[in-house]
Amino acid sequence: MNKRERDRMSTLILLVVAISICFGSVRLSLGSFHKPGPGFFSFLAGAILGSLSLIVFLKSFKGLPGEEKKAFWPNPRRTLKITYVLIALILYIIGMEYLGFFFSTLLFLGFLLRGIEPQRWLVVFVWSILGSIISYGIFKHWLGIPLPGGVVGF
Amino acid sequence: MLNDILYGFSVALTFQNLIYCFLGVLMGTLVGVLPGLGPVAAMSLLFGATLRIPPVSGMIMLAGLYYGAQYGGSTTSILLNIPGEAASVVTCLDGYQMARQGRAGPALGISAFGSFIGGTLSVIGLMLVAPPLANFALKFGFAENFSLMCLGLVIVSFLARGSMLKALMMAAFGLFLGTIGTDIMIGTPKFTFGIKSLMDGVGLIPVIMGLFGVSEVILNVEEGVKREIFKTKISHLLPNLKEWKDSIKPIFRGTFLGFFLGILPGGGAIVSSFTSYAVEKRFSKYPEKFGTGVIEGVAGPETANNSGSTGAFVPLLTLGIPSNAVMALLLGLLLTHGVQVGPLLLKQHSDIFWGVVVSMYIGNAMLLVLNLPLIGLWVKILKVPYPILFPFILLFCIIGAYSLNNNTEDVLLMIAFGIIGYFMKKFDYEGAPLVLALVLSTMMENNLRQALLVSQGSFLIFFTHPISATLLLITIILLVYPLFPWLKVRRKLEKLEAD
């Protein structure tokens, strides 16, 4: 995919977003110029976004052919790792409510240290345990952030 | 003014504020040294903690983190050829070459001294410029405020790296995001889709952490960050006489250039450092040597980025307009504490204004002490491999987002913006215009609606008020500028970045 193709894709998405914003704003009521309604400003923002998206979309058809193509996901295996990271993030948040901050942090760090760029097991254990203890100490005790205790209590 | 400075010292020199200043500059240096975590993301991590301390202490700590990061960023640029943060990109060009020639010590040394001189002199500039500017801004009404914010957004887009049109699109999107929540005049929910946490609007901190923190991490996971520290003995941190002689003019030029560029919306450390490099190359008798390890290529930009980071405080503290994402975050801090921002900040909260300004003197001195003797420690920290570092960056992001309101919805919002930020980077869109617009959106909407109420629906109000008309004229000139390619200023900046 070259730069112009990427621009075409992104501006089409943003054009759809802009049209949705404008429709939503009209439903909120635009009011009048001397008494603008709640949808007035968001309509303006959506109209600007839509107009600029259209300009960039049309500009993407100009230019010389033969532009260098770059794969959007050059290394699909590495891109899959992003999915693992995002899943880990979501599971961590859900897990924190049940397992508590300390144990969910331990599992979270352990998974990322071993599952994404695999480190030696000793490194995984040491950094996970140390990281959980230190972050618990700093955030819970020093900064006083009320982190969830879960069923364990901490 | 002497009384104000003394008052500022009385605020900044309390034990509590000295500790917060020290913590801020220490964390800032660490953030600057560590690639993958920029000052914006780091400041947003600490945002929740600053809600529990007085606003002046919070401002001192976060401000220290910001200008501290400029000091720290130079270390990785010189030793690794990887900028610790964006404002240190140009330092890689000559700084790394100096390290390869066995001159890492003088490069690091002149970078620290230049940063100190630039940072300290620009604080004096801030003290001289800010009060009269705040007085002038008291004349601003709804139309003037709206026009100024329009100009701010356009300048940010104008100075953005890459396409100005795309930057403006992100600004427009940010303006929309800022409208989400409850209408301030009528109380109607706008674009909340029934989600309770959106009734108060889209949180600035989760958005910033997502766009600048989480997205950076997942992009680095995808690309795989590898770095090799250049193995050189770091000695002779104090520059010799010849190195001082070669550096002194770039340092003073960098100070003035950085400060005045920093005042511009969209300005700050990044634009200042790039422009300083271009200026030094232009002024040099041997421009062809730039890029091969000339000390002027380090001294000028490193001074300018610190000076620029101080200059960026001027619009925030005098007009209440943030000029970049960092200032937007500080504005968010002040608003959360219920502090009235704008020209009245100087009168109503002089402790915040003068306390923060004077703390910058103290912070710059602390940084000089921290950076030179502790270079060895920073180098050891640099050796922590990224695969071990990034889980902790994500952990701090999650805790930072959670700590804002003790709910998981902010964390989910952060993750959502992390994904959005990832695709924005893939499609070459910048985050700074979006964040700035998000912060300014509510103020812009209020000022626009109030101005139209006053003028009974006539948009001519923006053109019949002279200050507003001038601001809008400059805005229009900047918008049509790309149609005239013979104006080479922006082209030169783009070429420099491409090189």
Where are chain B's structural domains?
A: 2-498
CB contacts of A37 in chain B (<8 Å) are 186
Residue A45 covered by a domain:
yes
**What residues have CB less than 8 Å from B338, skipping those under 6 apart?**
none
- The answer on A80 and A32 residing in a single domain is no
- The answer on A80 and A52 residing in a single domain is no
Closest Cα of chain A to B463: distance in Å?
A: 16
pLDDT for A24: 94
Interface contact B183-A41, CB threshold 8 A: no
- The answer on A136 and A100 residing in a single domain is yes
First to last CA, chain B: 45
Residue A37 covered by a domain:
yes
Of the CA atoms within 13 Å of residue A73, those in its CB half-sphere come to 12
Q: Whole-model pTM above 0.90?
A: no
Domain span at residue A28 reads 3-59
Place of tokens 């001159």: B103
Run of H or E residues at B181: strand B181-182
Interface contact A81-B52, CB threshold 8 A: no
Distance CA B409, CA B401 (A): 9
Pick out chain B residues at pLDDT < 50.
Answer: none
Which of A34, A94, A97 lies at the smallest CB-CB distance from B457?
A: A34
Residue A112 covered by a domain:
yes
Print pLDDT tens along chain A (154 aa).
788 888 999 999 999 999 999 999 999 989 888 888 889 999 999 999 999 999 999 988 876 665 667 777 777 888 888 999 999 999 999 888 888 889 999 999 999 999 888 889 999 999 999 999 988 888 788 767 778 877 777 7
- The answer on A87 and A47 residing in a single domain is no
Interface contact B190-A81, CB threshold 8 A: no
Distance CA A147, CA A140 (A): 6
Place of tokens 């910001």: B66
- The answer on A90 and A132 residing in a single domain is yes
First to last CA, chain A: 49
Which of A55, A108, A145 lies at the smallest CB-CB distance from B48?
A: A145
- B399, B436, B448, B459: best mutation site toward chain A, by most A Cβ within 10 Å? B399
Distance CA B83, CA B62 (A): 21
Percent of chain A with pLDDT over 90: 49
Q: How many domains does chain A have?
A: 2
Q: Count of A–B CB contacts within 8 Å? A: 164
Task: Kindly compute the dihedral angle of the four CA atoms of residues B131, B132, B134, B140, in this order, to the nearest 10 degrees.
Answer: 170
- The answer on A84 and A122 residing in a single domain is yes
Residue A110 covered by a domain:
yes
Which of A154, B410, A128 lies closest to A146 in space, CA to CA? A154
